[in-house]
Amino acid sequence: MVFGWGKKNQTSDDQIEVVTSTNSEITLSEIPNILNDIEQLRQKTLIAEIKTFRNKIDTDRKNLLSIANQLKNDNLKTDDMDNHLKIILSRAISDVSSTIQKEFQTSYAEIKSLNDVLEFEKKATKAIKKVVDVLRKHKTGIALFAKKYARKFKDALEILDSYLQEIKNLTANYKSNQEFLSIIRENLEKVSTTRSMISKQNKRKTELENLLQHESSKLEELSSKESKITSSPDYNEYITTKSKLDSLDSEEKQLRYSIDEHFVKISRPLNKYVHISSLDKPLKILNEKLLVSPYDVLSEVKSSDIITILNSVQASVSSGAISVKDTEKSVQQIKDVKDILSNLIKEKNDFYQNKLTYIDELKKFDFDSFKLCRDGIQKSKDEIANITTKHTGLLQQIKENVDSLSNIFSTLETSLKSASSISYKIISD
């Protein structure tokens, strides 16, 4: 009920639209034309249907104006009415009549375009609402003292309201159809974008596969080169010599410990001599190094300087310049080191001479080329692993985009059916 003056029994048959579903195969390139045809057809249909309702409303508009004029000119036998009630009724009649005059006096424009439809719906909705509002405002006065007009207004407005609801349904259906068309156009863009992406990804996949093939060939070549090197006599000799050289590490540790032990026995007087020494600076530095690592200091070049330092320490101990617990023992220990110093140096030199022999043997083998080959193999393996990872990830992306493309096609078909009532099957073009 438009403004609440009672309840009208409404009976209407359900309207069933029977649509014959048609199956049709189309390509993507045909869809824009189909959309344009649908849009034009829907728009023409809407304009024609709304034009009919515009004409109906225009007729009922005149009827509503006639009722308002009758009410305005009817004295309603108010001569015996209380003045206060007269004022209320007069105000109600004036307000209702002027509102209807204002809203329905002018005929609605002809419907020729979609904009005309929307403008007509807007104006008709506004006009009917204003009349309903004013009648609700003066419901008591009109219903009590102008009952026949109240019934006429109610009947007229119910008809107008039913027309307006039909108009709103038609425009809502049209807008809904436009949304489907918009979805279809968006999905057409998605198809183009996704296909472009898949094309780029396939191009990149080919690039990665070429890189993988190139790197695999490179690895095979390097591996063959490595195998040739490792099976050569020079390499076997290198491995044997390298093993011998590596075994010298433990021997050198033992030698270092043995030499350092001799100097540990005289480390106290050596350490004290550092602070009272009158030796030249180079000899003082040498003295300090002897305290830190005798093994590293010992050499034939420095043997005379070491003897000079030991003699000076021995003299300082003997004279009491360096105090020790047992002077005689310390002097003897220093003397012992001096006596075996040449042997210690020889022992170290012999060891290094032997070590240098192995090192010289190693130099006969082109280790740099071998290392370059080994490094190249590892680099190729890393690169192959990297390319393979990228390739696997890219295949997954391509699959996802292909699946997405299939879903977009399904959405397009569903939307086209909703927009046109025709079942389309989209085929690749």
Using the Cα atoms of residue 287, residue 292, residue 298 and residue 301 in order, give the sign of their dihedral. Answer: negative
Query: For 231-293, where are the alpha helices, taking DSSP H only?
Result: 233-264, 267-276, 281-292
What is the model's pLDDT at position 11? 36
Phi/psi at 265 (5° precision): -65, -25
- Cβ neighbours of residue 90 under 8 Å, at least 6 residues apart? none
Is the torsion defined by CA of 241, 243, 245, 247 positive or negative?
A: negative
* Architecture (CATH level 2) of domain 23-192: Up-down Bundle (1.20)
Domain boundaries, the chain: 23-192, 200-226+382-420, 232-365
Nearest-angstrom CA–CA distance, 168 and 162: 10
Tokens 């490792």, residue located: 230
Prediction pTM value: 0.60
Greatest Cα pair distance in the chain: 157
Residue positions counted in the chain: 429
Q: What does each of the 429 residues of the chain score in pLDDT, given as a tens digit?
A: 344 443 333 333 333 343 444 568 899 899 899 999 988 999 999 999 999 999 998 888 888 888 888 888 877 666 666 677 777 777 888 888 888 888 888 888 899 999 999 999 999 999 999 888 888 888 777 766 677 888 888 888 899 999 999 999 999 998 888 888 888 899 999 999 999 999 999 999 999 999 999 999 999 999 999 999 999 998 899 999 889 899 889 999 999 999 999 988 888 888 888 878 777 888 888 888 988 899 999 999 999 999 998 998 898 888 888 888 888 898 899 899 999 999 999 999 999 999 999 898 888 888 899 899 999 999 999 999 999 999 999 999 999 999 999 999 998 888 888 888 889 898 877
Backbone angles phi, psi at 426, to 5 degrees: -85, 125
Which residue type occupies 35?
Answer: L
The pLDDT score that the predictor gives to residue 14 is 36
Using DSSP bridges, classify how beta strands 423-427 and 23-27 pair: parallel, antiparallel or unpaired. Answer: parallel
* pLDDT recorded at residue 13: 35
Helix, strand, or coil here: 322?
Answer: coil
Question: Which stretches within 105-146 are classed as H helix?
Answer: 114-137, 139-145
What pLDDT is stored for residue 344 in this prediction? 93
**Distance between first and last Cα of the chain:** 55
Q: Which residues share a beta bridge with 425?
A: 25
Q: Which two tokens stand for residue 38?
A: 């649908």
Q: Are 95 and 134 in contact (CB under 8 A)?
A: yes
CA 406 to chain centre: 23
pLDDT at position 80 is 65
Measured N-to-C along each axis, helices 367-420 and 31-73 cross at an angle, to the nearest 10 degrees, of 40
272 contact partners, CB below 8 Å, separation of at least 6: 322, 323
Instruction: Tell me the three state secondary structure of residue 423.
Output: strand
Q: Which helix (H) or strand (E) holds 8?
A: none
